[in-house]
Structure 1
Amino acid sequence: MNWVNICEQTALPDFGGIAAWFEDRAIAIFNLGERGLFAVDNIDPATGVSLLSRGLICDLEGDIFVASPLHKQHYSLRDGSCIEDESLSVEVYQIKCEAGKVLVKRAGNHSLV
């Protein structure tokens, strides 16, 4: 699968998230400064609501998570796993910035490059 141009790097808020359309779904993109860019499904699997881009970013157990705004499940931005419920997970996408453009592609198997 090829890299897809999602937006200009300047469109990303510092230390926050935005929602973007990728292929057939909404994804959440997080710009965490020196910690990097991260992209996961925007739909919270616990509720089916597209809102993870509005979640709070936190560092727990040495990993970076987004906490869902509704029920506060924590999803790893590195592998998509949920701390509170092992049956829940979000898809993780590869993401990079080149020449001022944010590029995304499917990572497969919930892992990052």
Structure 2
Amino acid sequence: MPTDTLQWTAVCAADDILPNTGVCALVQGRHVAVFRIGDDQFHAIDNIDPQSGASVLSRGLVGSLGDRVVVASPLYKNHFDLRTGECLEAPQNSVRPHAVRVDGGRVLVAHG
């Protein structure tokens, strides 16, 4: 989806997210997990764990499997690719990825 047709919602200051952790934000009524990897990479995926229906992915452990940056669900330990939302153990449980950017020190998540 071209980024020039997207609408953006500011969710927090970039410094509010510690490196290699995530936070949950409400974007247009949707629970979104926003992750900061290192100092300057940001990713966003749906926060709802598809297996449990709980809004918990932002609380998962961030790491890597091969060349993929992932978060492990705190409930069922499934790994979700932070770039694509793909669930590595059960692709049918994949979540939606969201475009994210930092502008003026604020983290913005796309919707629309």
Query: Could you say which residue in structure 2 is the equivalent of 1:78?
Result: 83
1:103 partner amino acid: L
Q: C-alpha distance in 2, partners of 1:36/1:54?
A: 18
How do 1:12-27 and structure 2 match up within 5 A? 12-27=17-32
2:13 partner amino acid: E
Tell me which of 44, 52, 57 is aligned to 1:52.
57
Contact 1:92 1:106 in 2 (8 A): no
Cα deviations by residue, 1:36-67 (Å, 9 ceiling, x for unpaired): 10101110001101000000111112101110
Q: Shift of the alpha carbon at 1:35?
A: 6.1
Q: Shift of the alpha carbon at 1:79?
A: 0.6
- Number of equivalenced pairs: 107
Q: C-alpha distance in 2, partners of 1:93/1:19?
A: 13
Query: Could you say which residue in structure 2 is the equivalent of 1:40?
Result: 45
Question: Where does the alignment leave 5 or more consecutive residues of structure 1 unmatched?
Answer: 108-113
Question: Where does the alignment leave 5 or more consecutive residues of structure 2 unmatched?
Answer: 1-5
2:103 partner amino acid: E
Query: Could you say which residue in structure 2 is the equivalent of 1:110?
Result: none
Query: Could you say which residue in structure 2 is the equivalent of 1:10?
Result: 15
Q: Shift of the alpha carbon at 1:22?
A: 0.6
Q: Kindly, what percent of the aligned residue pairs are identical?
A: 37
2:76 partner amino acid: H
Query: Which of structure 1's runs of 4+ aligned residues deviate more than 6 A?
Result: none
Query: Could you say which residue in structure 2 is the equivalent of 1:64?
Result: 69
Q: Shift of the alpha carbon at 1:34?
A: 4.5
Q: Secondary structure at the match of 1:48?
A: coil
Q: C-alpha distance in 2, partners of 1:26/1:53?
A: 10
Output the aligned Cα RMSD.
1.5
